[in-house]
């Protein structure tokens, strides 16, 4: 079984960011290190679980981004992925899903994977588009937002549990080749093992350049970034932590939620 | 061909879901900028019955795509039937509710239709006669304005557009087509109900909710103690806490958990992701405690406390004990 996992880099959720001068992207300040997207980690974890269960499975990881994103491939190798592919783009910043999909499709079409896994969405753009659009582009069957997967090689299919609204799950059988996007779950992504980290550091990444076949016209354009509008205007409490505590208690008493 | 704006309805147990109306509201805003016919499309075995509800709600045309045997959502069925049904409609914009279902079939449908796709649309405004779409990035910290060329499929952010009932002028009609479909690659095996929404959450007047910012499991103790300051209170949390098995999933608030609307919702160490907001936005009073002054939760809060929650909640307990003899 040949598995591919698509991964990307993003700043952590609580990284301090500000809009840069171009108004087209942000800069991350402080010492927050960019890392592999949380959902991508779940996708890698799921791929490794399958590799452990199904003999003869190999797992590749691909990232379509600037050179710095090699770190997420190293992380994936550290978790147990066999081979890393870096489909280089020159610039970072906002990427239209259409463009990313066309680059990844070009890079992987001829490699005949049985199963492709991606995170349900990235943590910076949070589009949730690349996985399902890639599936359609490659004519793979597709299901999104899954919390668990089981491969049945003899029947050439996967069984997936889709996490949906209202605390419910939909159980789906998908014919291979398939693309599944992974949601967070109790399958906590493993930390890279020491032996894998050593292998990851010495292993060559496959670096390729692909030109998106999407013309600029069909992609959306990012016009401007700004601070979001506020729905309610929070009153920020001032003073020391104790001052704030006293003031909050008094506000809550006035609202009669506290007696 | 006459251009149109299509809304793909979402329905369950014979009823349109509230997010469908929000997608219709988004379509109306686009229509104000770029006049076109709005067509609401309903797919499924009971499409005709559900279409009636859409007709009763608005004076638009409704296309019922009856698919015998399709009694619950199947992504393959939606992509296949919609790509055929939409062919003749000249759709410039296709509005899809941003639920797990919309995200499942929408992006693939866009590819099939040769359309681009934008997700999490929360606002539309006009610039030089064109609609500009607004969505957030970086977990709600940044707002982005995007332009797109038609045709584009828009996945509409739940809770962002308000549907207002208006007088029906009686121009609406239902067109019915029947499409035969049988699964080739995706078979539904059923549903699993993991956790009925906790009645303690539904009945609570005060919910103290913990997020990943609590950092250590032991800090749940603080959250419980703060909750016990209030009568009829409950403890809940964001999804990562349930994934960590620190809290059971039935106490998860958000899109894929419980929807709550207590008198007071106290969000401790929660960043304010859209999927979390979807479950607690209706709370009457929201207090947020977070070390990051830029956290999106503050955009939704009535009172903001920028502090380390471990320090602040301990102070809150101490001050409360001091004031209550
Ligand atoms: C399809 C889908 C459905 C989803 N459904 C849900 C859902 O139903 N419910 C849900 O909650 N999520 C859901 N999510 C996940 C959601 O997108 C977010 O990832 C999640 O809500 C983040 O949880 P959080 O705010 O606790 O953690 P984070 O985003 O990591 O935020 C932690 C926050 O804690 C703050 N913090 C850190 N340390 C401290 C400290 N010492 N004191 C105070 N503050 C501190 C940080 O500044 C940060 O803002 C869903 C995602 C998807 C893709």
Per-residue model confidence as pLDDT tens digits over B23-60: 999 999 999 999 999 999 999 999 999 999 888 877 67
pLDDT at residue B112, as a whole number: 97
Ligand 1 mutation pick, B214, B241, B256, B277, max ligand atoms within 8 A of CB: B256
Rounded mean pLDDT, B112-124: 96
Task: Kindly state the percentage of chain A with pLDDT values over 70.
Answer: 98
Ligand 1 mutation pick, B197, B226, B239, max ligand atoms within 8 A of CB: B239
- φ/ψ of A176, rounded to 5, equals -85, 150
3-class SS of residue A182: strand
B4-178 CATH choice from 3.40.50.620, 3.40.140.10, 3.60.15.10, 3.30.1490.20 = 3.40.50.620
pLDDT at residue A211, as a whole number: 78
Decide: B214 and B309 in contact? Cβ < 8 Å.
Answer: yes
Instruction: In chain B, list all ranges with CATH 3.40.50.620.
Output: 4-178
Q: Which atom of ligand 1 is nearest to the CA of B212?
A: 26
User: Burial of B38 by CB count in 10 Å (0-12 exposed, 13-18 middle, 19+ buried)?
Assistant: buried
Query: Assign residue B157 a region: left if phi > 0, alpha if psi is -120 to 50, beta otherwise?
Result: beta
pLDDT at residue A11, as a whole number: 87
**Of residues A218 and B268, more confidently modeled:** B268
Closest by CA to B148, choosing from A130, A221, A24, is A221
Q: What is the pLDDT of residues A225-234, one digit of tens each?
A: 998 887 777 8
Banded pLDDT at A23 (limits 50, 70, 90):
confident
Task: Find the residues whose C-beta lies inside 6 A of ligand 1.
Answer: A 13-14, 120-121, 145, 183; B 100, 211-213, 215, 238-240, 252-257, 269-271, 273, 275-276, 279, 289-292, 295, 308-310
Q: What is the pLDDT of residues A172-204, one digit of tens each?
A: 999 999 999 999 999 999 999 999 999 988 999
CA atoms within 13 A on the CB side of B102: 28
Rounded to the nearest integer, the mean pLDDT of chain A is 93
pLDDT at residue B181, as a whole number: 94
C-alpha of residue B239 to centroid of ligand 1, in Å: 7
Helix ranges (H only) for B133-238 are: 199-203, 220-227
* CA dihedral (A96, B298, B217, A165) positive or negative: negative
The answer regarding whether domain B199-323 maps to CATH 3.40.630.30 reads no
C-alpha of residue A13 to centroid of ligand 1, in Å: 8
The DSSP annotation for A6-66 comes to: E--EE--TT--EEE-TTSSSEEE-TTPPPEE-HHHHHHHHHHHHHHHHSTT-EEEEEEEE-
**Residues 6 or more apart in contact with residue B250 via CB below 8 angstroms:** A167, B194, B195, B196, B197, B198, B258
Report whether pLDDT(B148) > 80: yes
Q: What is the pLDDT of residues A77-136, one digit of tens each?
A: 999 999 999 999 877 788 899 999 999 999 999 999 999 999 999 999 999 999 999 999
Banded pLDDT at B169 (limits 50, 70, 90):
low
Decide: B272 and B288 in contact? Cβ < 8 Å.
Answer: yes
Task: Kindly state the percentage of chain B with pLDDT values over 90.
Answer: 87
Report whether pLDDT(B100) > 80: yes
B185: DSSP letter: S
Which range among A106-110, B198-202, B214-218, B316-320 shows the weakest confidence by mean pLDDT? B198-202
Report whether pLDDT(B283) > 70: yes
CA distance linking residue A212 with residue A97, whole number of Å: 11
Instruction: In chain B, list all ranges with CATH 3.40.50.1220.
Output: 199-323
Decide: B264 and B207 in contact? Cβ < 8 Å.
Answer: yes
Banded pLDDT at B171 (limits 50, 70, 90):
low
Domains and their CATH numbers in chain A = 2-219 (3.40.50.620)
Which range among A15-29, A57-71, B289-303 shows the weakest confidence by mean pLDDT? A15-29
Helix axes A97-108, A130-138, angle to 10 degrees: 40
Rounded mean pLDDT, B295-314: 97
Which range among B64-73, B82-91, B187-196, B241-250 shows the weakest confidence by mean pLDDT? B187-196
**Residues 6 or more apart in contact with residue A202 via CB below 8 angstroms:** none
E-assigned strand segments in A79-212 = 83-88, 115-119, 141-152, 157-164, 168-175, 178-182, 206-209
Report whether pLDDT(B165) > 80: no
């Amino acid at each position: 079984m040949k598995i591919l996992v698509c991964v990307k880099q993003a700043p952590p959720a609580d990284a301090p960011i500000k809009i840069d001068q171009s108004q087209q992207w942000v800069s991350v300040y402080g010492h927050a290190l960019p890392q592999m997207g949380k959902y991508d980690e779940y996708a890698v974890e799921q791929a490794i679980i399958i590799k452990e269960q199904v003999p003869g499975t190999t797992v590749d990881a691909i990232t379509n981004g600037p050179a710095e994103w090699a770190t997420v491939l190293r992380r994936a190798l550290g978790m147990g992925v066999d081979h890393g592919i870096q489909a280089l783009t020159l610039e970072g910043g906002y990427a239209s899903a259409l463009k990313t999909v066309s680059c990844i499709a070009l890079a992987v079409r001829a490699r005949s994977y049985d199963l492709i896994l991606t995170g349900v969405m990235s943590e910076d753009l949070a589009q949730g588009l690349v996985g399902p659009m890639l599936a359609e582009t490659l004519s793979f069957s597709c299901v999104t937002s899954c919390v668990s997967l089981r491969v049945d090689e003899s029947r050439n299919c996967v069984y997936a549990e889709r996490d949906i609204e209202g605390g419910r799950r939909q159980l789906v059988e998908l014919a291979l080749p398939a693309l599944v996007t992974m949601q967070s779950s109790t399958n906590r992504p493993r930390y890279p093992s020491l032996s894998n980290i050593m292998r990851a550091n010495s292993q060559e990444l496959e670096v390729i350049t692909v030109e998106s076949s999407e013309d600029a016209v069909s992609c959306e354009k990012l016009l401007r970034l700004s601070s979001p509008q506020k729905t309610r205007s929070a009153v920020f409490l001032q003073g020391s932590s104790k001052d704030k505590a006293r003031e909050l208690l008094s506000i809550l008493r006035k609202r009669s939620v506290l007696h | 061909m006459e251009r149109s704006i299509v809304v793909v309805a979402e329905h369950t147990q014979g009823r349109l879901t509230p997010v469908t109306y929000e997608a219709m509201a988004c379509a109306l805003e686009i229509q104000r900028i770029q006049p076109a016919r709005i067509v609401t499309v309903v797919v499924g075995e009971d499409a005709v019955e559900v279409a009636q509800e859409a007709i009763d709600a608005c004076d638009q045309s409704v296309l019922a795509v009856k698919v015998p045997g399709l009694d619950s959502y199947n992504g393959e069925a939606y992509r296949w039937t919609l790509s055929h049904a939409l062919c003749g409609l000249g759709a410039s914009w296709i509005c899809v509710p941003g639920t797990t279902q919309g995200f499942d079939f929408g992006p693939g449908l866009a590819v099939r239709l040769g359309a681009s796709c934008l997700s999490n649309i929360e606002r539309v405004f006009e610039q030089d006669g064109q609609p500009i779409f607004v969505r957030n990035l970086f977990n709600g910290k940044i707002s982005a304005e995007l332009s797109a060329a038609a045709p584009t499929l828009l996945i509409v952010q739940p809770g962002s557009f308000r549907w207002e009932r208006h007088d029906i002028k009686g121009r609406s009609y239902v067109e019915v087509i029947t499409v035969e479909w049988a699964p080739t690659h995706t078979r539904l095996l059923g549903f699993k109900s993991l956790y009925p929404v906790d009645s303690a959450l539904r009945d609570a007047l005060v919910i103290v909710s913990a997020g990943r910012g609590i950092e250590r499991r032991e800090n749940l103790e603080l959250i419980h103690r703060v909750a016990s300051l209030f009568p009829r209170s409950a403890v809940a949390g964001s999804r990562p806490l349930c994934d960590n098995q620190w809290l059971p999933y039935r106490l998860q608030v958000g899109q894929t958990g419980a929807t709550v609307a207590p008198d007071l919702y106290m969000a401790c160490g929660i960043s304010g992701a859209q999927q979390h907001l979807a479950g607690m936005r209706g709370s009457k009073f929201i207090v947020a405690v977070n070390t990051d002054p830029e956290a999106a939760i503050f955009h939704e809060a009535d009172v903001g406390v920028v502090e380390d929650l471990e320090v602040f909640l301990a102070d809150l307990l101490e001050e409360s004990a001091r004031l209550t003899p």
